[in-house]
Structure formats: C-alpha cells, structure tokens
Amino acid sequence: MKAVRFSRFGGPEVLETTELPDPHPGPGQIRIAVRAAGINPSDWKKRKGLMDQGLPQTLGHEAAGTVDELGEGVTDTAIGDPVFGFTAQEGAQAELAVLSHYAPIPPPLDFTAAAALPAAIETATRALDQLGAGPGTTLLINGASGTVGSAAVQLAVVRGARVLGTASPANHAYLRTLGAEPLTYGPGLPDRVRTLAPDGIDLALDIAGNGILPELSQLTGSAQHVITLADVPGARKHGVRFSTGESGRALHALDTIGELIQSGRFQPPPTHTFPLADAAEAHQAGEHGHLRGKLVLLVG
C-alpha cells in the first residue's frame, strides 16, 4: 500500500509517498480502505522532530473509509460498511489503515467530512469533560473558530452552557451560527468579557495558546477552572491544567456525534482537500497559511 512517511526530520520536503506492507487488524480492530485522512498540527510537529524521535514515521491517526477486513471478535460492523475513527497506531494517511475505535459515518456526511471529525471532537469532548461544562455554566473559549474550537463551542452549547468565544472579527458571524457570543482577541479582552458577562465566567478553555492564561485564571477566579490545549510552558508557570490524551481519551465522542449531526445540533468544520501524493503541499498550507477548517488528504 501507499502511505505518507518521512525518514528524516525537516520541512514538508521530507515527506514521501512510499510503498509499505499492508497492515492487518488485531482482535477487536478493523481495517479500512481509506478514502480520506485528517491532518493535524501534531503531524508537522512530528515531521520537525518536536515530538516522537523515532525514524522512519508514518503519519495520521484519524481516517474514514470502508471496512475491508475484520479482526477477531468484531461483530458491530461488516465488510463494506462506511466508518470513521482512530488508528490503532499511526499510519492513517495511507491506502489502508487499522482502526481501534470507530463508528458508522452518519448521513449526510461524506468520507471527507467524516475524516475531519475524530481528533477535533475527541479533544473538545475531553476538555469539556475535564472542565465540567454543563447547564448553568458560562464558558469562555479562547480560539473558538478553528476545528477544535468550533467543535468545543457546539458541544458546550449542546450541554447547556453559555459560550463566549474569541476569534478575529472576520470569524464572528461564523461563531454566532454555532451558538457562541463572539469576542475579539487582543488587549482589553478581560474588559470585553466583563461587558458581555457582568457576573463573570465560570470556566475557560484555551485553544489559541496566545499567552492569556493569567487573564483567564483571573476571569474564572482560579487556575483550576482553566484548561489549555496549546500552552505547555504557560500551564506550568501559572498552575493551569494542560489536557492531553495520556490521562484518558474521550473516545465516547465518536459514538454520540452522529445523532448530533443528524439532528442539526453539530456542524462539521469546512475542509480543504489534497491528494495523498500532495501531503507536502498540504503541510505547507496548514503550517504557514491561515485556513479556517480542516486539512484532509483524499485517497483513491
């Protein structure tokens, strides 16, 4: 099978589309013929050597496609079913991928839209679970218009929270369609928050990682009411929780998103697609561009 791989760290030019042995599912796993695979910022961090140090590496951990091989004990899906989910390890950006957690693709989504979902909804759900966002809470999401941010906005609204979201002015109308009250980034943010929420906010989720953790702690009354997904140094310095999947992933998000989409309560992010062979171009667009939406590689 063809897969996106790199054998040395560096820029997008180190990515190759190379032939690898076909993978096979273990017990409880499935293999899919990949139709679309998501790209995440972690992909270019790995490519640069900022995360995993092993070489070579194959990329991608979320994909959508049709089931073409079942592992031992799998009874909840069948050959030919359209599914989306997470790989058992890396390697989703390939013609074949083994999934360890998966769900049926809900109508009316196509493979591209489905491949854009797993990482965003898992990350957003995990953070909201850890914060305890729910009815009667006011939540500020810093960086609300990206793929994770827009997922967090909608999932928080479904839970009954009031959501304030920061974004550039060009994205304010978009946030309103998702159910958030938009705010502009930059100096004076605490005053703008207090104008919208004179009684204060209960919780804050930092996705932008733009250095405002002290302000978020002040607005919520405690660093314990703030989670960041993007600012490791700031979290350590200011006593804020940094959310990672190492403490347990919110994989139940895959099982519940279909009903939310079909009922119109969740809108998948816009997508920008590239052929599998153009993974380097996709990395360049994502790393240096200002695209709103999810980068997806198309296979086949």
Single pTM value for the model: 0.95
Q: Which residues share a beta bridge with 86?
A: 62, 101
Query: How many angstroms separate the Cα of 123 from the Cα of each of 33, 117, 119, 252?
Result: 25, 10, 6, 11
The dotted CATH code for 122-246 is: 3.90.180.10
122-246 shares the fold of 2-117+268-298 = yes
> What distance in Å separates the CA atoms of residue 169 and residue 283, rounded to the nearest whole number?
26
Region for 83 from its dihedrals, namely left if φ exceeds 0, alpha if ψ lies in -120 to 50, beta otherwise:
beta
Topology, domain 2-117+268-298:
Quinone Oxidoreductase; Chain A, domain 1 (3.90.180)
- pLDDT tens for 1-30 read 999 999 999 999 999 999 999 999 999 999
Contact between residue 114 and residue 235 where contact means Cβ atoms under 8 Å apart: no
Backbone angles phi, psi at 224, to 5 degrees: -70, -10
Residue 281 pLDDT > 90: yes
Quote the CA–CA distance of 10 and 2 in Å, as a whole number: 21
What pLDDT sits at residue 290?
67
Position 264 confidence tier, pLDDT thresholds 50, 70, 90? very high
- In this predicted model, what pLDDT tens digit does every residue of 224-238 receive, in sequence order? 999 999 999 999 999
Domain limits, the chain: 2-117+268-298, 122-246
